[in-house]
């Protein structure tokens, strides 16, 4: 399973102090079938805890997700800032997620080279 994040999600992650370990944990839960919300068209919503707190009041992330293959974090927001996604935002994210999930290895490599995607690397031992 490869885990990526978009450039805009990386900015959100850095601003909020979200660790790569938290992202990896969210995808590990999804791989076990523990998905917070299935938005359809390959998109899921996963909760991520605020540093030092629980997931309940933390962050919501939208992930383009294909089981056992690829996950791409594309959008994140704090529950305290936004209750949910608008229908228009959800539609745009579904289109973007479909595009990301359709990429082949060359397309992923191009996006990484262009700094539009970065791979989440997390080693449990560290």
The string of pLDDT tens digits covering residues 80-124 is 677 778 889 889 999 999 999 999 999 999 999 999 999 998 765
Between CA 101 and CA 14 the distance in angstroms is: 24
Best CA proximity match to 5, nearest among 118, 126, 125, 121: 118
> Contact at 8 Å (CB) between 82 and 72?
no
Q: What's the predicted TM-score (pTM) here?
A: 0.90
SS3 at position 34? coil
Of 57, 109, 105, the C-alpha closest to 82 is: 57
pLDDT digits (tens, 9 = 90+) for 20-72: 999 999 999 999 999 999 999 999 999 998 877 766 668 999 999 999 999 99
Q: Any idea which residue has 């989440």 for tokens?
A: 120
Q: What residue spans define the domains of the chain?
A: 2-119
């Amino acid at each position: 399973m490869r885990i990526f994040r978009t450039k805009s999600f990386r900015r959100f992650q850095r601003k909020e102090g979200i660790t790569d370990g938290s992202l990896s944990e969210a995808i590990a839960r999804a791989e076990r079938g523990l998905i917070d919300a299935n938005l359809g068209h390959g998109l899921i919503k996963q909760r991520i805890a605020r540093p030092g707190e629980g997931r309940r009041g933390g962050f919501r992330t939208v992930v383009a997700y294909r089981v056992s293959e690829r996950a791409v974090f594309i959008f994140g927001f704090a529950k305290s800032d936004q209750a949910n996604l608008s229908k228009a935002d959800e539609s745009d994210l579904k289109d973007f997620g479909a595009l990301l999930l359709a990429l082949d290895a060359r397309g992923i490599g191009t996006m990484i080279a262009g700094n539009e995607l970065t791979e989440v690397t997390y080693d449990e031992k560290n």
